[in-house]
Structure 1
Amino acid sequence: MWLLSLAVADFTFSLLLLLPITELALDSHWPFGLLLCKLNYGALMLCLYASIFTLAAISVDRCISVVLPVWSRNHRGPRLAALLSLGVWVAAAALSAPTFTFRQLVSLGNRRGCYTDYLLEGEWPAQTTMDYGDEDDQVMKEWPLSLHDARYRAVSLAGFLLGFLLPFLVITTSYSIIVLRLRWGHLAPSGVKPFKFIAAIILAFLLCWMPYHICSMLDLLLPHGELFPLVLSVVFQLSYILTYFNICINPVLYIFTWQDFRDAAPTSCQLPLG
């Protein structure tokens, strides 16, 4: 069930990249309309967070199977995994909701691009012919930008805390407990494949996602309009490649090596009571 959830998320994410690739090929022009703009990018974020949360859930599930073998044998099953997988997708939907809400078509000369705009239609002050004082006029111009920045910061921080830091801590803690359990309990020989596999999982997640979130946090802290943010925007694009690469290597890490883990780690489940 966990692998099915992961496969659906990763494959759907890869399939949905076809439209953004088309947009890039058309020089950042989005010809598919507003509805597909929202649905495609919203679904991309949904699958991305579902993949991340599923990786964290798999690590917890494996940890429980090793640390609590008797309880695991009596209570873990496909039905429970299916319910928890549904919860994972609901949590991913909640975190991707801002993308569905704020993705908009933005005019760029004779082109229209699909971008995130944290100000909805009607939230800009209405244009009037009233004679505002200089101070009032400045407030009228600044408050929408403040609302935009507040939403951008909230979404970015939520993505960092819930979409990276928390899953990384869960993955690292769960697999660290598994390693300690297997080492201390002499349940697997030193140098067995699961230990290298566990290290690869943690490093892959860290190396693929940390550059993106470092850029995201720097973008929140640095003032706009300077040279470094321009360089940062290029690094930002490169960091996207790494996040997409993590989607590509998930099948290698979690499916093709699944049997190696099963052959070694679940030996604890064969221990007699007491």
Structure 2
Amino acid sequence: MEITNDLNSTFSPYSTTNVNATAAPNCTDWPHVPMTTLIPAIYSVICVLGIVANALAVCVLAHSSASRRTVANTFMLNLCVSDLLFLLSLPLWAVYYSQGYNWPFGNIACKVCGALHNLNLYASIFFITSMSADRYLAIVHPLQSQSARDPKRARLTCILVWVLAFACSVPTFYLRSTQHVEALGVEACAIHYTSDTWFYTLTWLKIILAFLLPLLVISCCYGAIGRHLLAGTGLLRIHPSTNAPSFKSQESCCSKPEKPLTPQQCVNKGSSSSGGRGGGRQLEGRGLERVLWTVAAVVVSFFCCWFPFHCVTFIDLLHGGDPMASCWAQWTIKNLTPLTLCLGFSNSAINPVLYCFIGNHFRGRLGGLCKGLCACLKARGEDHSHQRGSFSTRLSSFSRKLSDLKDLAIAEPSGSA
């Protein structure tokens, strides 16, 4: 299989072309995009923001109490871990681009980083899809789904997602390697497709499993949630006589004399979704509007981040690496593949904001964690100051005693005379 040597797409983390190429027509009239400076700058911003946001989310979710280890939080924790694994490898790709597609880290690192990119591509989208299905069940069918929405089953689902994402990443690990490109004088980290079957199978697999099917499921779930909320039925209306103790009305919840709860705690009692948007919450006014905006943001973010990249991938698939393809197709594949990848990678930094930081409970726990850390540091500082003060006091006391002994020693000879 002979495919054009489009450098930016060939050597990108999700390359879709082969490095063994024939000469293609030179489209000199099309503008050149400075990838060796633009891409590392974008990667650096995504890496810093994404690592900070996901690390904070992991800290809060991992230190949550047993009552907070819900189905949604389980999915969120695994999503953040997946994004962190990808973001930690992003600096190596930034160096790779900045050195003009030269990979200085060795063949094993090339395979591992390429596999991590694909692992995150599949795992993050699978976790987002799982969270969407969980929210649909929690909001639209809260009572009927209680047996299915179990934290143990959620952990099994996460294991299944990791296994499936790993299986989808194995071919990339096998095919990707460092290859010397004599024309550029670099050691590129690229995928070498040994046949047409590999190329078309993996490309269609990426388009269908990593975009089309998840987008269909996510759109259906949040579309049903939106219709449910706009219908004016609320998330759940249950009378106090219900036999489901997990989903009590607000009045019933707040009337418990032995351990009164705040209104916010009552609103979220029995909720199993993130950010206080659970099945037991009846939303009105600004609360309903907030949920609708969050639902819209999830779908729009997913679509905007990944749709451009998969469009470019589809264009590459249609041309099949034809070296005589039109200039617009060559320019699009060559220049827009890494740029649309940057947009897709930014979803890893956006995910914790959409799924964690918007929620009142998450922000409250994050604030509590920060206050606890500040209190710990303050206590250590006060203890250190107390120790220094105690040492200074003992030193002053010792100095006074030493001075008294010296005066006594001076006075004794004169007294004896």
- TM over 0.5, shorter chain: yes
3-state SS of 2:139 partner: helix
Partners of 1:104 and 1:114 in 2: how far apart?
A: 6
> Which residue is equivalent to 2:69?
none
Using the TM superposition, give the Cα deviation of residue 71 of structure 1 relative to its aligned residue in structure 2, in angstroms: 3.1
Partners of 1:150 and 1:208 in 2: how far apart?
A: 28
> Which residue is equivalent to 1:247?
348
Check whether the contact 2:215–2:303 (CA below 8 A) recurs between aligned residues.
Answer: yes
**Which of 309, 312, 331 does residue 212 from structure 1 map onto?**
309
Using the TM superposition, give the Cα deviation of residue 83 of structure 1 relative to its aligned residue in structure 2, in angstroms: 0.7
TM-score normalised according to structure 2 size = 0.53
- Is 1:168 matched with 2:215? yes
3-state SS of 1:27 partner: coil
Aligned pairs for 1:224-263 (under 5 A) are: 224-226=323-325, 227-232=327-332, 233-259=334-360
Partners of 1:258 and 1:58 in 2: how far apart?
A: 15
Partners of 2:150 and 2:187 in 1: how far apart?
A: 49
Letter in structure 2 aligned against 1:196: W
Aligned-pair Cα RMSD in Å:
1.8
The worse-fitting range, judged by mean Cα deviation, of 33-42 and 66-75 is: 66-75
Letter in structure 2 aligned against 1:118: Y
Partners of 1:225 and 1:200 in 2: how far apart?
A: 41
**Which of 166, 173, 189 does residue 114 from structure 1 map onto?**
189
Check whether the contact 2:132–2:218 (CA below 8 A) recurs between aligned residues.
Answer: yes
TM-score normalised according to structure 1 size = 0.80
Letter in structure 2 aligned against 1:47: N
> Which residue is equivalent to 1:5?
78
> Which residue is equivalent to 1:153?
200
Write out per-residue CA displacement over residues 161-186 of structure 1, whole angstroms, 9 at most, x where no aligned residue.
11000000111001111112222252
Partners of 1:238 and 1:26 in 2: how far apart?
A: 17
Partners of 2:154 and 2:161 in 1: how far apart?
A: 10
- Is 1:34 matched with 2:107? yes
Check whether the contact 1:49–1:92 (CA below 8 A) recurs between aligned residues.
Answer: yes
Write out per-residue CA displacement over residues 209-236 of structure 1, whole angstroms, 9 at most, x where no aligned residue.
1111111111111233442233111122
3-state SS of 1:193 partner: helix
Partners of 2:339 and 2:315 in 1: how far apart?
A: 15
Mark the runs of 5 or more structure 2 residues left unpaired by the alignment: 1-73, 235-282, 363-417
- Is 1:90 matched with 2:163? yes
Check whether the contact 1:10–1:48 (CA below 8 A) recurs between aligned residues.
Answer: no
Partners of 1:163 and 1:75 in 2: how far apart?
A: 25
> Which residue is equivalent to 2:88?
15
The worse-fitting range, judged by mean Cα deviation, of 109-118 and 161-170 is: 109-118
> Which residue is equivalent to 1:105?
178
Partners of 2:163 and 2:202 in 1: how far apart?
A: 17
**Which of 25, 45, 62 does residue 135 from structure 2 map onto?**
62
Using the TM superposition, give the Cα deviation of residue 75 of structure 1 relative to its aligned residue in structure 2, in angstroms: 4.1
Letter in structure 1 aligned against 2:310: H
Moved over 6 A (4+): none
Check whether the contact 1:194–1:260 (CA below 8 A) recurs between aligned residues.
Answer: no
Give the paired residue count: 233
Check whether the contact 1:31–1:112 (CA below 8 A) recurs between aligned residues.
Answer: yes
Taking every aligned residue pair, what percent have the same amino acid on both sides? 33
**Which of 230, 233, 249 does residue 186 from structure 1 map onto?**
233
Letter in structure 2 aligned against 1:189: E
Partners of 1:257 and 1:72 in 2: how far apart?
A: 25
3-state SS of 1:113 partner: strand
3-state SS of 2:201 partner: helix
Mark the runs of 5 or more structure 1 residues left unpaired by the alignment: 120-146, 262-274
3-state SS of 2:129 partner: helix
Do the aligned partners of residues 258 and 97 (structure 1) sit closer, same or farther apart at CA in structure 2, a change above 3 Å counting? farther
Using the TM superposition, give the Cα deviation of residue 260 of structure 1 relative to its aligned residue in structure 2, in angstroms: 8.2
Do the aligned partners of residues 225 and 248 (structure 1) sit closer, same or farther apart at CA in structure 2, a change above 3 Å counting? farther
Partners of 2:155 and 2:112 in 1: how far apart?
A: 25
Partners of 1:168 and 1:208 in 2: how far apart?
A: 12
Partners of 2:105 and 2:293 in 1: how far apart?
A: 45
Letter in structure 2 aligned against 1:224: P
Decide which structure has greater helix share. Answer: 1
Partners of 2:216 and 2:361 in 1: how far apart?
A: 24
Using the TM superposition, give the Cα deviation of residue 48 of structure 1 relative to its aligned residue in structure 2, in angstroms: 2.1
Check whether the contact 2:121–2:210 (CA below 8 A) recurs between aligned residues.
Answer: no
Partners of 2:129 and 2:212 in 1: how far apart?
A: 11
Using the TM superposition, give the Cα deviation of residue 98 of structure 1 relative to its aligned residue in structure 2, in angstroms: 1.6
Do the aligned partners of residues 209 and 260 (structure 1) sit closer, same or farther apart at CA in structure 2, a change above 3 Å counting? farther
The worse-fitting range, judged by mean Cα deviation, of 222-231 and 62-71 is: 222-231
